[in-house]
């Protein structure tokens, strides 16, 4: 099957990839629910800011991103070497994401926002610690 990406995919691969979400992932929802249940109110996927942060505390000017390890290039120098299929496409795509993330961080900081980025695996491995970090940052602001 020839895809819009310029390389051949199998029907199964295409179906699998189409199910990957860019926002409201399970980990994001779980993280947000904990904050909400603790009484913290926020905006989600806030379109008014560069990068459309996953969680935004507008009055505190705090923007939080929860970055998927693969999509945003966690340990990219190592992982890049391991990509076998459609190598050129994935390297270009992920490096573009990395660059865009850095640009959005810079824009947000220039606008006076605090930017917090967590890797998906950081939240999965110790959600409670990340929640506590956010609460401390909110309370200091």
Mean pLDDT of the 75-100 span: 94
Nearest to 126 by CA among 114, 118, 136, 137: 118
- pLDDT average, residue stretch 3-12: 56
How far apart, in whole angstroms, are the C-alpha atoms of residue 53 and residue 57? 10
Token digits of residue 107: 């824009």
Predicted pLDDT at 22:
59
Give the residue, 19 or 12, on which the prediction is more confident: 12
Which alpha helices (H) appear in the chain, and where do they start and end? 11-18, 26-37, 69-72, 76-82, 87-110, 120-125, 127-140
Question: How confident is the model over 122-139, as pLDDT tens digits?
Answer: 999 999 999 999 999 999
Q: What is the pLDDT of residue 24?
A: 82
* Average pLDDT score over the chain: 89
* Sequence ranges of the domains in the chain: 22-140
Mean pLDDT of 25-46: 97
CATH of region 22-140:
3.40.960.10
């Amino acid at each position: 099957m020839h895809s819009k990406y310029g390389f051949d995919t199998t029907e199964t691969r295409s179906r699998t990839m189409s199910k990957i979400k860019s926002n409201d992932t399970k980990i994001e929802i779980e993280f947000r629910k904990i904050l909400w249940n603790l009484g913290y109110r926020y905006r989600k996927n806030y379109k008014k800011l560069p990068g459309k942060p996953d969680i935004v505390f507008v009055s505190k000017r705090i923007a939080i991103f929860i970055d998927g390890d693969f999509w945003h290039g966690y340990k990219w120098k190592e992982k890049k070497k391991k990509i076998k299929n459609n190598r050129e496409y994935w390297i270009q795509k992920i490096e573009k994401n990395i660059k865009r993330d850095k640009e959005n961080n810079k824009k947000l900081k220039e606008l006076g926002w605090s930017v917090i980025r967590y890797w998906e695996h950081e939240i999965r491995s110790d959600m409670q610690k990340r929640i506590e970090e956010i609460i401390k940052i909110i309370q200091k602001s």
